[in-house]
Chain A
Amino acid sequence: MSELLLELLSEEIPARMQSRAIEGLTGLLHDKLAAAQIPAESIRGYVTPRRLTVVAEGIPAAQPDRTEERRGPRVGATQPAIDGFLRSAGLAALTECKIRDTDRGEFYFAVVNRSGRAAHEVLPELIQGAMAELPWPKSMRYPASDLRWVRPLISVLCMLDGDVLPLPLGRVPVGTTTRGHRFLAPGEICVTSAADYVERLRRAHVVLDRDCRIEAIRQGLEEASAAEGLSLKPDVELLDEVAGLVEFPVVLAGAIDADFMALPPEVLSMAMRTHQKYFSCLWPDGTPAPRFLFVANNVAVDRGGTIIAGNERVLRARLADARFFWDHDRRVPLKSRVEALKDRVFHAKLGSVYEKTERMVALSELLASDVPGADPHLSRRATRLAKADLSTGMVGEFPELQGIIGRYYALHDGEDPAIAQAIADHYRPLGPEDSCPKAPDSIVVALADKIDTLVAFFGIELPPTGSRDPFALRRAALGIIRILIENSVRLPLKDALTKAAGVFYRQRRASSWDDRVPSIYAELMTFIVDRLKVHLRERGVRHDLIAAAFAQVATTEDDLVRLLKRVDALAGFLASEDGGNLLTAFRRASNIVAIEERRDSRRYDGEIDPALLRQPEERVLCDRLAEVGDRSGTLLAREEFERAMAELARLRRPVDEFFDKVTVNCDEPALRENRLRLLSSIRQTMNQVADFSQIEG
């Protein structure tokens, strides 16, 4: 059993690509070893900013020997055919062949023994193949080699049990040497085995194992914050990223000038985290402390004093910029910035952000009455101010803080806190992980923004196509869905979308907008319902339940909250014993009706004639259907879906007894027709609750 050590040393690999690269390389090698019949007993990958390393242990010394049988010509074939076969099989005489009886007669067979190739012969091809197939999000050419790589390869360490395996990589050296940390141990290191490699790298200031680096950083951060009586603001994502930027992590702490601490925490965090990859500290009471922690990739000879001073200066410059904007922006109230939105293009075909704001304001007035607790005046004013912060210096510098900055400036202007909150909230939810606005006025502004965006882009016929959704319309639709559902807002979407389309076309003074509104509504409703279906599926709701509950969407239903209640009730009902059995009965009834209707080329959905109900089971079922139909109809109107379903469950026993005792296809045509109508009526009664024919399983 042999040990393979492969290290690809390169110039710095982007942090975001490292994990996938090492998983890919390890996986490719694993599969190739297995396919070549020299599978490794264990294989493990390591990644640092400069190297991808794979250690595979327990590789067989050689591929197993193989015996191949090749069928030749039929016994008694012509001499040229036989000679050709012998030549191709590498045999001297026909006596070396076997004769075997097959179902097509007797044939000559050549038995060829192939001895397996040694692992050291096979491996270079496999490694070369894996390197060539490894997908990088972006790769480049460089003079030293023809192999595209993410950044230039510096050297390759490739050995099997200490012996170099040659790889054709142009001028990139392939051998038994590597290098340590770029600054702390830049010299060449000669390696004899995987264990030796790990140990020598450790001494050369390279923490090879990514998890060890993460742990070392985490520990360092916690110690550094504890040393000052502070706690670390946990940030797993940043920790993960930083572990991909260093080979030898050294945690250092810097100070933030006290007067910057008055800046909004979001601004501090943006400058520190996003731009500089610094960690934040908190006072014991949870408020931000004037300290930042960061991870250097060097043990400086002055113990980091210069590095800390440099980083403090960079942060100071960034925060000084931010404070400049903070001070200057607030001299002009938000309401005076609305005008400037006229110069800000929303989309070339859709005019300015100002025009969008105008539409949103009109829409917010229409929406406010549908959102319980919303104040029409507050939500109207919040809508007018919602985009005003786009023309502030702060949002120019930190575009990700749009809305959030607006909130601070609105509070500074003395606007109502509900208005300020709505400005901050109206872009949300920003993604599936983000939470939805909860405050009523925030909901109005957020809906107005998203509905207008959808209507506008569909209005200029730029809906998403395939995977391309440049204006994030799917996200807007999902935002609408989540805001409505999570807040149980009963918005009649048809009404809202139609009004929004009206606002849009009136603003554009399009003469033919009356014609376009119904089709916009239909397109958008389909679009939103499709997103809702995806959303529900992602939450684990069965697709057939969705289909069953959504059957009425196309016609009447446009209230997502009601729709969802129906889905939930249906799921609960079908999970119950009554529900399951009733579904079986429903199917039996519909199948019989369907078969008979097909056979007779007519429909059996007419009135039931009470005079023709002969057997007690028929009469009971008929009465029960009428009763259940009435009651479930009432319950549905009151949106008591669970009770409506429970009502359906009362059909179960009469239906079962009907099938037990009554023969549908009897000899008397009038009787048969009446019984088929009875069955058809089961279907109709149940379908008013949901389309049970869509249910699977």
Chain B
Amino acid sequence: MSPRARPPATGQIAHGRADFFNAKGAALSFQSLILDLQRFWAEQGCVILQPYDIEVGAGTFHPATALRALGPEPWRAAYVQPSRRPTDGRYGENPNRVQQHYQLQVILKPAPAESQDLYLASLGAIGIDARLHDIRFVEDDWESPTLGAWGLGWEVWVDGMEVSQFTYFQQVGGIECDPVSTELTYGLERLAMYVQGVESMFDLDYNGASGPHSITYGQVFRRAEREFSAYNFEFADTARLSAHFADAEKECRALVHRGLALPAYDQCLKASHLFNLLDARGAISVTERTAYILRVRALANACCEAWLVGPISVD
């Protein structure tokens, strides 16, 4: 029996971990790691959502987290979200940095008292046995200036490597969260690199298949990294991006005015991503930067307020 096949030491929570190992008991593929985590969180009563179809910098921006964290209704969801961070692009040449990576995002509202135990059990579900590893909760207060959000929590280290963010949301869109939610963000590539023991993200075994069907992360994404890095750093038309930013801002305001919180929030997300692109192009000075962040935050706040007002009546 390989060490990974043992149940986790904290094993208070049942899960169907073993199904997702491949026949040799070898490390999880990238996709089975995702499937494992989704299965685990589905068993905790989470809605398993799909990625939001607008570019965002982090899973938190998905309306399933940003908006649903507000208001009194209980809510549990988990989903994978591609996170686009144009400034982190390295043309696919750095083994640890990419302009788009995947996050697995979990939101538990209200924050359960056993949040930490659930999280540790989820690590057990992907073969990280707490009896073999050194798992730490290291202070890390989370803040998103563009989202007007903050919370307290930790980054989670496994044997010295940060694999997750763990946050108790205190405020989103400038509004107090009541009840407080637990937000978990797994950096999937990092986690997979750790589980598979590879040194470069691009060497990750993506699908666990052997022979002609075997696919690495690099085969799937390296071209995208090269092309998007070139776009983000060299070719994005900054004048047009600025104009798009202004349009999205205007549209967002107009939609908030009509009480259409979700379409308005889409425009806020677009503005946020356009700002990130402008930033990557070096088109924003330090002082302008603050001004841009404040403009996006104002939109986010307005959307969050509109969301809390409730659905508009159709007639």
Q: Which of A13-60 contact B (CB under 8 A)?
A: 14-16
Partner of A245, one of B95, B136, B153, B180: B136
Partner of A307, one of B133, B197, B285: B133
Do B10 and A311 touch (CB < 8 A)? Answer: no
Do B199 and A316 touch (CB < 8 A)? Answer: yes
The answer to whether residues A310 and B96 also contact, given A152-B113, A183-B130 and a CB cut-off of 8 A, is no
Partner of B134, one of A171, A297, A343: A297
Residues of A within 8 A of B287 (CB): 348
Q: Which of B131-153 contact A (CB under 8 A)?
A: 131-139, 141, 151-153
List the one stretch of A141-149, A221-229, A500-508 in contact with chain B: A141-149
B168 at the interface (CB under 8 A from A): yes
Nearest opposing residue in chain A for B177, CB measure: A141
Do B152 and A143 touch (CB < 8 A)? Answer: no
Complex: A316 Cα to B160 Cα, angstroms:
12
A300 at the interface (CB under 8 A from B): yes
Nearest opposing residue in chain A for B290, CB measure: A348
B254 at the interface (CB under 8 A from A): no
Do B10 and A151 touch (CB < 8 A)? Answer: no
Q: Which of B1-58 contact A (CB under 8 A)?
A: 3, 9-10
Residues of B within 8 A of A347 (CB): 286
Nearest opposing residue in chain A for B131, CB measure: A301
> For the side of the interface on B, what is the size category?
35 or more
The 8 closest A-B pairs by CB, nearest first: A310-B159, A14-B139, A348-B287, A12-B137, A311-B160, A296-B134, A143-B110, A314-B160
Kindly supply a per-residue 1/0 record for chain A positions 295-309, scoring 1 wherever the CB is within 8 Å of any chain B CB and 0 otherwise: 011101110001101
Do B135 and A183 touch (CB < 8 A)? Answer: yes
Partner of A301, one of B116, B132, B141, B199: B132
Do A294 and B160 touch (CB < 8 A)? Answer: yes
The answer to whether residues A11 and B116 also contact, given A186-B10, A306-B133 and a CB cut-off of 8 A, is yes
Residues of A within 8 A of B134 (CB): 296-298, 300, 307, 310-311
Q: Which of B163-202 contact A (CB under 8 A)?
A: 168, 170, 178-180, 194, 197, 199
Do A11 and B95 touch (CB < 8 A)? Answer: no
> For the side of the interface on A, what is the size category?
35 or more
Do B132 and A343 touch (CB < 8 A)? Answer: no
Q: Least Cβ distance of B158 to chain A in Å?
A: 7
B96, B130, B133, B138: most-surrounded residue (chain A CB, <10 A): B133
Query: Which residues of B are in contact with A by a Cβ distance under 8 Å?
Result: 3, 9-10, 94-96, 110-111, 113, 115-116, 130-139, 141, 151-154, 158-161, 168, 170, 178-180, 194, 197, 199, 282, 285-287
Query: Which residues of A are in contact with B by a Cβ distance under 8 Å?
Result: 11-12, 14-16, 138-144, 150-152, 154, 171, 183, 186, 245, 276, 294, 296-298, 300-302, 306-307, 309-311, 313-317, 320-321, 324, 343, 345, 347-348
Do A140 and B151 touch (CB < 8 A)? Answer: yes
Do A186 and B159 touch (CB < 8 A)? Answer: no
Do A171 and B113 touch (CB < 8 A)? Answer: yes
Partner of B168, one of A142, A302, A306, A321: A142
Do A300 and B111 touch (CB < 8 A)? Answer: no
The answer to whether residues A16 and B133 also contact, given A152-B113, A152-B168 and a CB cut-off of 8 A, is no
Partner of B159, one of A139, A183, A307, A321: A307
